[in-house]
Amino acid sequence: MTDPTVRAILDELWQGAGLAGEVPARLTGAEPALPSSFRIGAAAQASIATATAAAAEIHRRRGGPAQQAEVGMRHAALEFGSERYLRLGDAAAPARWDDIAGTYRCGDGRWVRLHTNFPHHRAGVLRLLGCAGNRAAVGQALRDWEGFAFEQAAAEAGMCVAAMRSFAEWDAHPQGRAVAGLPPVRLERIGEAPPTPLPPLAARPLQGIRVLEATRVIAGPVCGRTLAAHGAEVLHLSAAHLPSFDDLLPDTGRGKRSATIDLRDAAGQAVLRGLVAGTDVFVQGYRPGAIAAHGFAPEALAALRPGIVCTSLSAYGEVGPWGGRRGFDSLVQTASGFNHAEAIAAGADPADPDPKVLPAQALDHASGFLLAFGTLAALLRRAAEGGSWRVSVSLAGTGHWLRGLGRLEGAFGVPVPGLDDLGDLLETGPSGFGQLTALRHSGRLAETPPYWALPPVPLGTHAAAWA
């Protein structure tokens, strides 16, 4: 079979979300865009173009002019690494990794990857291993473990570890089989409500649409950042007692206000109920069941606010034996076969390849843009059909989708540009972290150009209230 064109990928996503017709988009550039055997440029261009086109369609249905999404492949692929392209003042400020995070060989020869960027995950892994917090000690301790056994023990302890598998091993795994049966973006009607008209015509496509965002790290925040770029009022919610990855906030916090709520007490729950009553969208990216345990499952939100769109991200999918497991992009890459397949494509020994990561957190970023697209598709369907809606995306499901786009040959020589190579793709302005230089959004609309009206700020800067 011939690998699908980006246009075909766009149309399949569009129609899979229940939208009619061809995606209004103008696509430029060609593959390869990054050094990978996977079609990361195509995935970036397609996911960003569908979200941009859906924003344009909302504006058109509000009475605005018809316009098409314009997305260049190189710019889109670079946006899949937007957390790299940051400067605060005169100093580069890319997101940093914990010093013991990464891959190690276990005693049976299988590789495992540790994700220890949150302090409690780092402490939990070291407690499980019973060793000092340095790479040499961790590597020595893991020689006493088998790879799959350590992966399972870490999961049972609530830690974040993945053993490296091949695609064949993942496809035979019950979770791999569960994910393979799901579309990359799943829309479900979860409650009854009359059609909710889109707001009257405004200057920006999503102006007048409110979004509550309870997310952290990359994928969920990218969704909220994308909606904010088209004018949505996005209020990011965090909790002061939970760890965060603050290095990412200058990038993913653009366009948003930021407040804190503690859902462990009745007062915090009451504040969230009040916010939900006035929102159109609730985006959540915590482990499946975490927010639901406080009384805010999608069905409960739909009862509280009929017509709401509940957008949910998970690591491995909300179904299957790993449906509630914690995970991040790097772990899903490892567990689901990408690190193994990329290594072999790059020329490693097929019998014993060292893990090779993708050149971007592609599962995170693609999932974020697919979440934004699914959210906008649900708003369009809510206006036409009524109902409350759930939009579901998982990193593992996005990985399965990326695999289905086909492979490239001879792409590993493509350079990854540095910050100083990006020229007019960068924008500079004030922020709550100092003078910020960062990558512009790659999805363009001629009549309503996307931009972030608000600078990124530290967590909890604003009150937990609508502007």
- Residue numbers annotated as active site: 364
CATH number at residue 374: 3.40.50.10540
In the structure encoding, which two tokens stand for residue 121, read together?
Answer: 């995950």
Residues 163-184 pLDDT 10s: 999 999 999 999 999 999 899 9
Q: Average pLDDT, stretch 209-231?
A: 97
Residue 7: Cβ-neighbour burial (10 angstroms; 0-12, 13-18, 19+)? middle
Q: How far apart are CA 173 and CA 446, in angstroms?
A: 46
Q: How far apart are CA 97 and CA 74, in angstroms?
A: 26
**DSSP characters over 45-74:** HHHHHHHHHHHHHHHHHTT-----EEEEHH
Q: Average pLDDT, stretch 413-440?
A: 96
Residue 245 clears pLDDT 80, i.e. is over it: no
Which residues touch 129 (CB under 8 Å, ≥6 apart)?
138, 141, 142
Q: Which residues of 229-246 are buried (b: 16+ CB within 10 A; e: fewer)?
A: bbbbbbbbbbbeeeebbe
Residue 264 clears pLDDT 60, i.e. is over it: yes
Residue 317 clears pLDDT 60, i.e. is over it: yes
Between strands 233-238 and 210-214, the pairing is: parallel
pLDDT of residue 1: 54
Please, are residues 123 and 100 in contact by the beta-carbon 8 Å criterion?
Answer: no
Please, are residues 131 and 125 in contact by the beta-carbon 8 Å criterion?
Answer: no
Q: How far apart are CA 367 and CA 185, in angstroms?
A: 9
pLDDT of residue 288: 83
Q: How many CA atoms lie within 13 A of 429 on its CB side?
A: 16
Give domain status of residue 155, yes or no.
no
Give domain status of residue 164, yes or no.
no
Q: What pLDDT band is residue 2 in, cutting at 50, 70 and 90?
A: confident
Residue 57 clears pLDDT 80, i.e. is over it: yes
Please, are residues 442 and 76 in contact by the beta-carbon 8 Å criterion?
Answer: yes
- Taking CA atoms, 380 is separated from 186, 225, 385, in Å, by 15, 19, 9
Give domain status of residue 343, yes or no.
no
- The one-letter amino acid at 421: D
Q: How far apart are CA 399 and CA 116, in angstroms?
A: 22
Please, are residues 249 and 185 in contact by the beta-carbon 8 Å criterion?
Answer: no
Q: How many CA atoms lie within 13 A of 323 on its CB side?
A: 10
Give domain status of residue 417, yes or no.
yes
Other beta carbons within 10 angstroms of residue 337's beta carbon come to 22
Q: Average pLDDT, stretch 421-437?
A: 96
pLDDT of residue 318: 87
Give domain status of residue 399, yes or no.
yes
Residue 324 clears pLDDT 90, i.e. is over it: no
Would the pTM count as exceeding 0.95? Answer: yes
Between strands 69-72 and 443-444, the pairing is: antiparallel
Q: How far apart are CA 296 and CA 308, in angstroms?
A: 12
- The one-letter amino acid at 451: Y
**DSSP characters over 299-319:** HHHHHHSTT-EEEEEESS-SS
Q: How many CA atoms lie within 13 A of 9 on its CB side?
A: 26
Q: Average pLDDT, stretch 8-26?
A: 95
pLDDT of residue 110: 98
Residues 332-374 pLDDT 10s: 999 999 999 999 999 999 999 999 999 999 999 999 999 999 9
237: nearest Cα among 211, 218, 219: 211
Q: What pLDDT band is residue 430 in, cutting at 50, 70 and 90?
A: very high
Q: How far apart are CA 26 and CA 67, in angstroms?
A: 10
First vs last Cα of the chain: how many Å apart? 51
Q: Average pLDDT, stretch 93-110?
A: 94
Q: Average pLDDT, stretch 294-314?
A: 96
Which residues touch 84 (CB under 8 Å, ≥6 apart)?
94, 95, 419
Other beta carbons within 10 angstroms of residue 264's beta carbon come to 11
Residue 189 clears pLDDT 60, i.e. is over it: yes
Other beta carbons within 10 angstroms of residue 369's beta carbon come to 30
**Which ranges in 162-255 belong to alpha helices (H)?**
167-172, 174-180, 219-229, 249-252
Cis peptide, bond prior to residue 32, ω within 30 of zero: yes
Give domain status of residue 277, yes or no.
yes
Give domain status of residue 116, yes or no.
no
Residue 157 clears pLDDT 70, i.e. is over it: yes
Q: What pLDDT band is residue 214 in, cutting at 50, 70 and 90?
A: very high
Give domain status of residue 134, yes or no.
no
Structural domains of the chain, count: 1
pLDDT of residue 244: 81
Mean predicted lDDT score pLDDT of the chain: 96
Structural domain harbouring 440: 6-94+180-317+360-444
Contacts made by residues 177-180, CB under 8 angstroms, sequence distance 24+? 177/320, 178/317, 178/319, 178/320, 178/321, 178/323, 179/316, 179/317, 179/320, 179/336, 179/394, 179/396, 179/397, 179/399, 179/400, 180/400
